[in-house]
């Protein structure tokens, strides 16, 4: 993979990853009636809320055990139980998703054990308690996200449910706009979908005039229970662990699992839609043929402006894989793919996604931070930078246009409405890419063209 691997620095500067419980919290936010709960000290929860709010502009309540020094010494069990009671009383949640933090992992709190005690000590009707182990010194927010989904499936999915005719979709961390679009697609395909998690309403809700303790929306618990009865699962991404939600459904309930790249660009979306027709036994609705046709038409209209331009892409591994495939098919050459994640699968997936188009593979590095990315960027002089808003300072410094995608978008409005997936997402991204290149040319030119 690597041509000139960056020097292996000991310190991390401007990380290109977030911590594990943040991912878990976001995943739990996509479950009906759920409240994310961090078993740890107060700061972690507050920081993550702040970080998430700045992207979605939505309230997000993440409860915390608020451990103090004495709990750290004697164990956080009592505070965990107290916290759960308080959350139950105030929020009346249907589910509490309990993620651990570095602190409680290190002091060795046995959360599943504590929850068993809690069940015994406080009998009666309670919200479902779903624990997930998320030490941040082990993995990134994506591991936290996928593990929270897997834990939820594990806890809720039931063997004895009636066969349905739907599909499970485990999209990973995508935007509310993406999820709304997936719903539209599956509905148009006549295929009822259980999308887990579903943050389309909970993290992009209307003005309510009142504060909903738990915003409406999220994957219904009843639907999660019946996931084993659906015909198949489609799981976006190849870099997560084997213990994913889709794999669990396959192994425990024999629900066929399709692992595919995020449907970004034409090739990946074709595969996604073909898979839906395979599962549902229907054909592709005309609406999507038309969307695809318009997309191809625009590719043609815009190709010359971007053909042969180079790009660096960073972010979560699976997102970068998806973006690489998309960029490659429109003629933009990814020259650096960087992620803070460390799945060990990154370079292989980039190769699979782009190998038939790109003449040579980009440099692909895991475990990168923005210091490394900047160094390589200075050397490589790309035409475009593509990723979340944390690359904006770099883009500004090097005077290279940046296309903002993914999470977080902290310096622009509407991160939750960015559409990445499907033909429509490709259309949106394509226009962005072409116009960024044109705008740069226009800005740098003394002429100021009135026509492209």
C-alpha count within 13 angstroms, C-beta hemisphere, residue 223:
19
Nearer to another protein, 289 or 397 (CB): 397
The minimum distance between CB 53 and another protein, in angstroms, equals 6
Q: Which of 37, 145, 314, 430 binds another protein (CB under 8 A)?
A: 37
* DSSP one-letter string for 324-385: HHHHHHHT-EEEEEE-S---S-HHHHHHHHHTTT-SSPPEEESS-BHHHHHHHHHHH--SEE
By three-state DSSP, how is residue 263 classified? coil
Report the C-alpha gap between 388 and 394 in whole angstroms: 12
Q: Which of 44, 240, 268, 433 binds ligand SF4 (CB under 6 A)?
A: 44
Report the C-alpha gap between 176 and 187 in whole angstroms: 17
79 sits near ligand SF4 (criterion: CB under 6 A): no
Q: Segment contacting another protein (CB under 8 A): 39-47, 161-169, 346-354, 418-426? A: 39-47
47 sits near ligand SF4 (criterion: CB under 6 A): yes
Report the C-alpha gap between 50 and 41 in whole angstroms: 15
451 sits near another protein (criterion: CB under 8 A): no
Nearer to ligand SF4, 19 or 267 (CB): 19
Nearer to ligand SF4, 20 or 239 (CB): 20
Q: Segment contacting ligand SF4 (CB under 6 A): 42-50, 54-62, 324-332, 438-446? A: 42-50
Nearer to another protein, 103 or 405 (CB): 103
146 sits near another protein (criterion: CB under 8 A): no
Cα–Cα distance list, 409 to 27, 215, 425 (Å):
18, 22, 17
Question: Exposed/middle/buried for 368, CB within 10 Å: 0-12, 13-18, 19+?
Answer: buried
The minimum distance between CB 68 and ligand SF4, in angstroms, equals 10
C-alpha count within 13 angstroms, C-beta hemisphere, residue 81:
17
The minimum distance between CB 70 and ligand SF4, in angstroms, equals 15
Give which of 274, 284, 228 is closest to 252, Cα–Cα.
228
192 sits near another protein (criterion: CB under 8 A): no
Instruction: Count residues near ligand SF4 (CB under 6 A).
Output: 11
136 sits near ligand SF4 (criterion: CB under 6 A): yes
47 sits near another protein (criterion: CB under 8 A): yes
The minimum distance between CB 214 and another protein, in angstroms, equals 11
133 sits near ligand SF4 (criterion: CB under 6 A): no
Nearer to ligand SF4, 67 or 130 (CB): 67
120 sits near another protein (criterion: CB under 8 A): no
Residue nearest to ligand SF4 (CB): 43
User: CB under 8 Å to 127, separation ≥6 — which residues?
Assistant: 33, 35, 88, 92, 93, 94, 95, 96
By three-state DSSP, how is residue 195 classified? strand
Are the CB atoms for 194 and 230 separated by under 8 Å?
A: yes
Per-residue mark of binding to another protein, 53-92 (x: CB under 8 A)? xx-xxxxxxxxxxxxxx-xx------xx-xxxxxx-xx--
102 sits near another protein (criterion: CB under 8 A): yes
Beta bridge partners of 36: 97
Q: How many residues does the chain have?
A: 452
H-helix or E-strand containing 169?
Answer: strand 167-170
The minimum distance between CB 29 and another protein, in angstroms, equals 13
The minimum distance between CB 408 and ligand SF4, in angstroms, equals 15
8 sits near another protein (criterion: CB under 8 A): no
Question: Which partner, ligand SF4, another protein, none, binds residue 13 by CB below 5 to 8 Å per kind?
Answer: another protein
* DSSP one-letter string for 415-448: GGG---SHHHHHHHHHHHHHHHHHHHHHHH-SS-
Identify the residue whose tokens are 């890419």: 433
41 sits near ligand SF4 (criterion: CB under 6 A): yes
Question: Which partner, another protein, ligand SF4, none, binds residue 59 by CB below 5 to 8 Å per kind?
Answer: another protein
């Amino acid at each position: 993979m690597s041509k000139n691997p960056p020097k292996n620095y000991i310190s991390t500067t401007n990380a290109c990853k977030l911590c594990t419980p943040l991912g878990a919290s976001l995943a739990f936010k996509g479950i009906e009636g759920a409240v994310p709960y961090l078993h740890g000290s107060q700061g972690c929860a507050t920081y993550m809320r702040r970080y998430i709010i700045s992207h979605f502009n939505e309230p997000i309540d993440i409860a915390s055990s608020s451990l103090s020094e004495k709990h750290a010494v004697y164990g956080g069990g009592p505070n965990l139980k107290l916290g759960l009671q308080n959350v139950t009383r105030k929020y009346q949640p249907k589910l509490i998703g309990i993620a651990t933090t570095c602190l409680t992992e290190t002091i060795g709190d046995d959360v599943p054990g504590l929850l068993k005690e809690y069940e015994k000590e406080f009998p009666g009707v309670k919200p479902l308690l779903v624990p997930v182990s998320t030490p941040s010194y082990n993995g990134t927010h994506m591991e936290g996200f996928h593990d929270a989904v897997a834990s939820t499936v594990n806890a809720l999915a039931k063997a004895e449910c009636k066969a349905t005719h739907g599909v499970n979709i485990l999209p990973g961390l995508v935007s509310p706009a993406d999820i709304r679009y997936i719903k539209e697609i599956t509905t148009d395909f006549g295929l009822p979908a259980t999308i887990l998690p579903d943050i389309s309403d909970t993290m992009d809700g209307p003005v309510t005039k009142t504060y909903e303790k738990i915003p409406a929306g999220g994957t219904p618990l009843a639907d999660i229970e019946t996931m084993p009865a659906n015909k198949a699962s489609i799981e976006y991404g190849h870099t997560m662990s084997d213990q994913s939600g889709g794999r669990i459904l396959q192994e425990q309930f024999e629900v066929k699992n399709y692992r595919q790249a995020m449907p970004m660009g034409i090739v990946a979306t074709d595969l996604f839609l073909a898979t839906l027709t395979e599962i549902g036994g229907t054909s592709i609705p005309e609406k999507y043929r038309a969307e695809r046709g318009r997309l191809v038409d625009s590719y043609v209209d815009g190709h010359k402006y971007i053909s042969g331009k180079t790009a660096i892409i960073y972010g979560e591994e699976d997102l970068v894989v998806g973006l690489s495939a998309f960029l490659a098919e429109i003629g933009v050459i990814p020259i650096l793919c960087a992620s803070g994640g460390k799945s060990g699968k990154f370079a292989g997936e980039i190769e699979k996604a782009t190998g038939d188009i790109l003449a040579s593979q980009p440099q692909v590095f895991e475990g990168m931070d923005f210091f490394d990315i900047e160094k390589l960027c200075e050397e490589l002089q790309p035409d475009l930078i593509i990723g979340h808003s944390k690359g904006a300072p770099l883009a500004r410094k090097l005077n290279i246009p940046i296309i903002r995608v993914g999470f977080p978008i902290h310096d622009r409005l509407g991160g939750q409405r960015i559409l990445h997936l499907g033909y429509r997402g490709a259309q949106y991204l394509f226009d962005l890419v072409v116009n960024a290149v044109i705008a740069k040319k226009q800005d740098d030119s003394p002429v100021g063209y009135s026509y492209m």
